[in-house]
Each structure stands twice: as C-alpha cells, then as structure tokens.
Structure 1
C-alpha cells in the first residue's frame, strides 16, 4: 500500500483553510441538490492525519462553528466561479490561471473546451501533495493542466510565462479565497501583476469578504492561529479598486448570488444576524485598448 503524502508546511497554518474548503466541497457534493460535484475533495481529507490539521479533524457536521458559518458561501462561490471560468474559456480565453490553487481540482473536474490550458499556481510542496493524493486515488492527469511552483510574494508572472502562459492572449484569472488574506499593499501588488500579464479580453474572477466579530470568534474556537486570517485586502471597495487598474467589474453581493441558486444567505454574511459582515463575488473584464 502506498504511503500517504506528507502534509506540506503551507497547508498546516492559515494555508490549511484549503482543507476546510475541501471538506465543505465534499459535503456539498453529497447533497441531492448540490450546486457542483467535486469527486476528488474527500481524497485530501482522507490523506491527512487529523492530528495535523483542525480541518481534517473537524466533524462531518457543519451545524455549528466556523464551518457552518461559511458552508453556503463556499458552495455558492464555487458554483459561481466554476461557471464564470467555463464561460470565459468558451468565449475565447484559452488560458486559465488558478492563483494559490491549494487542493483545488477544477483542472480535473470541469469540462473545459478543447485546447484550454489550465495553470495551477502554488508552492511546490502544495502542488506535490495535491498531485500525489490524486495520483494515489487513480485520477488521470488532464493533458491541459500545468503545475506552476512559485510564491505569490515573488516574481510569479515570470514563473507562469516560463511555464507557457502567453500574455499576448486573453487569460481567465481566478483569485478565490485570497484577497481577504492579503494586506492592502499585497492585494494591490497582486492586481498590478495580474493586469500587467493580461491581454485585452482577459477576465478576472474573485471573491472577497469582510471580517466580522462572528467570524473571528469562530476561527478562534477552531485554532488560535486562524484568528488573524483576515488581513483586509484592498482598502477601496471592489468596484473602485478594479476600475482603478483598468478593469470593468461587475460586483455582486453573496446573498444575491445565493438567492439565484435557491440557497439561503450564508450565515456569516446574513445582515439579520448580529456581528456579521458582507461578502461579494466579482467578475471583471479587461477591455480592448482604444
């Protein structure tokens, strides 16, 4: 029997929220009314010693605590971002870049148009862990997937272009679960680099969320090191921020998108509950230059 891959350091602290997302995607995939199907998500949880991660040790129930607060948000944003990326690829974005992909499996589970290239970007050990788990479970490696080992704090655009991304062609970018974990200057740098590596016609898909008293308390109950997970992201609202860099954004409240999918407002962003904040899903297009 093959040995289990070691859990990388980048998935043991704040970065381990990738395993929390995997847990919620696995649960959503078991629902009769699921918004998406991720047949790989449970594999990552099965590969992790519960002592190594609070997420792997979490109860299968999401009836309380942090997982309950964000379960619907993860389900809704996954469906929304899946659809956005597929529509972008069908509209001519032949390159898709998943930033800080963690254990994301979109390159495996979505029905991409022929010829679409998917660039999964993260630390080398995170990619190795994900790829090893999937290989051990017999998942066939998609021919259109390219793993790019790099650090988003470094010159990651160089790494992605060296791996084959053509910045002269339109790209669909995904920044999921990322903005709120960045301090403002880092968020600005990320968007500046995305913009500089994007051809006209490119599309950016992302989510963002305010921290709140409710979320901070729930994170603290799960793990003390997760309390500082939220670093704020951009100081401007998303529409102003994206427009300043030349993008044409459409920003939707998470409650609006949830209602579209016939789901309740995610608990962490329900204005009828005390101590909540707001959450958003956004798409942005880079227009043709005049």
Structure 2
C-alpha cells in the first residue's frame, strides 16, 4: 500500500499528495515502478489495487477533513501502518490525532520520520497496541477523551477481520464515541482475481483475508451499531475522481466482488 501511495504521488494527475511514502520505501530498500508504467516485475496485486487505493485515500482524506472542520477535535487512525495523514493534511489547530498500531510498526515509522526531520501539522500521539487486545484502554491512557466528538478511520482493515472481530471493533469504537462522531471506512469482497494476485505475491496474503462484517452492505452493519450510514459503491467514487473501476470490483466483469466507501455518523 505504501508503494501504491508513493507511485500515486508521482503521477501528474495524482488524487492526493504523499511525499513521505517514498521515504518509508527507501528505508526498507524497496523500489517502485515509475508512475504509469508496467514491467514484468510489477506485482499483479499492485496493478489491480492501485486505483482502488488512490480513490479510497482521496475519499477518506476528504471525510476526515470534513469531520475535523465540523468539530471533531480528535481523530483516531486504527492500524495506521505507514499512514502520513498527520503530516500531509491541513488539520485545524485544535486537532489531536491518535495513531494506533503495533509497537514495532510505529517505531519503524518514527525512525524514518526523525531521520528526515518530518513533523506533524497537529498534535499527534502514537499508541502502541494490538487491536485484538484492550486497545481502548491504551487509547484512553494516551490522552483520548471519549466525551469529545471523534473521527475514526478504518482503512484497508475490515477484510482482514473475522465477522466477530469486525463487530467487536465497531462495538468498541461506538462505546468510545460521543454524539457527533464520525467513522470512515472502506470494505470489499474477495474474488478469484484478487485471490490469485495475492497468492502470486505471497501465500500469507491469501490467508489474511477473513471477510469482515457478514452484512452484505456496510450501511446495514453501521446502522446495526447505531450509526447513520452513507455508503457509496466504489464505481461511483472512481467516476467522481476520473479513474477506471479496478477489475476486481468492476460490476460489468463476471465474478467481480463489490467494494464500498462509507461514512457513519453518530447522532446526538
């Protein structure tokens, strides 16, 4: 995903800017294909998912910025990985951003950022934790206030969870959300095309797909947990941003899975 974000940044028609992704790749000794090029060494999964990642990143960026401007003074990035939103988005001065991930993931990212002297445009707190454990306690111990409106991000996450784990995650988010909070997410179904591309890259990527929520529409899943949903099919958003529908999610392609971008708002 970091390589896809780095290549997107190099495109003349990029949907978002992320000059930091390349730093993370350089530190790992990883190369990326030039923007707009395809070589025999380019993983098929990279090619299949590039536009989906670009479109979802732009959509979720905009939703987080809208929530922050509307009064969500806290933003929580769940399983943040090499996410650089703390550095590349224009946050209100009142924003407190919390980034949750494994300790070693956060340490790697912090080392790269420190090496390049990169600082955030808002107050930022890293929370080393495991989403399978009691992460809400770790989040609150880090200064999170569940009484304040919050914008939550679940990006590239739900498909890797079982249905029970997805329900538990959203239950915990809901329990720590004040009225006026927002949750922004993406979700997608698997397909033979995606499974084959993952297998060609790594067998571990095949096994990590657990399907996420059992509801066949993330809107129903959000509503069941008390959120007012707004759900968009991926092809609606690709059209908005002038990108092609990725083959794994093209409704005109037999056997394709569905993909959604969604926002839930907690009434109050």
Residue number in structure 2 paired with 1:227: 206
- 3-state SS of the aligned residue for 2:55? helix
Tell me the equivalent position of 1:251. 231
- Whole-Å separation in 2 of the counterparts to 1:137 and 1:41: 12
In structure 2, what is the Cα distance between the partners aligned to 1:276 and 1:68?
A: 16
Identify which of 202, 206, 215 aligns with 2:185. 206
Is this contact kept in 2: 1:215–1:276, CA < 8 A? no
> Does the 8 A contact of 2:94 with 2:122 survive in 1?
no
Q: Is the 8 A contact 1:98 1:121 kept in 2?
A: yes
Contact 1:35/1:79 (8 A) holds in 2: yes
Match of 1:241 in 2: 221
Q: Deviations over 1:36-94 (max 9, x none)?
A: 00010011111114xxxxxx366554566111111000000000000000000000000
In 2, the alpha carbon distance for the partners of 1:101 and 1:223 equals 22
User: 1:166 — aligned with what?
Assistant: 145
Over aligned residues, Cα RMSD in angstroms?
1.4
SS at 2:230 equivalent: strand
- Cα gap change, 1:25/1:62 in structure 2, threshold over 3 Å: closer, same or farther? farther
Offset of residue 189 of structure 1 = 0.3
Cα distance in 2 for residues equivalent to 1:119 and 1:266: 31
Q: Give the TM-score, by structure 2 length.
A: 0.94
Give the superposition deviation at 1:229: 2.4
The range that moved more, 170-179 or 274-283, is 274-283
Partner Cα separation in structure 2 for residue 232 and residue 264 of structure 1: 24
Secondary structure in 2 matching 1:133 = helix
3-state SS of paired residue (1:93): coil
Local SS of the residue matching 1:107: helix
Residue 152 of structure 1 pairs with residue 136 of structure 2: no
Equivalent-residue separation in structure 2 for 1:178 and 1:46 (angstroms): 25
Find 2:196's aligned residue among 217, 235, 243: 217
Moved over 2 A (4+): 56-64, 140-143, 271-275
Structure 1: gaps of 5 or more residues: 1-20, 50-55
The alignment's TM-score, normalised by the length of structure 1, stands at 0.87
Q: Is residue 25 from structure 1 mapped to residue 31 from structure 2 by the alignment?
A: no
- Residue of structure 2 equivalent to 1:6: none
3-state SS in 1 of match to 2:68:
helix
**Cα 1:269–1:62 shift into 2, 3 Å:** farther
2:123 counterpart of 1:134: no
Where do 5+ consecutive residues of structure 2 fail to align? none
Q: How many residues align?
A: 262
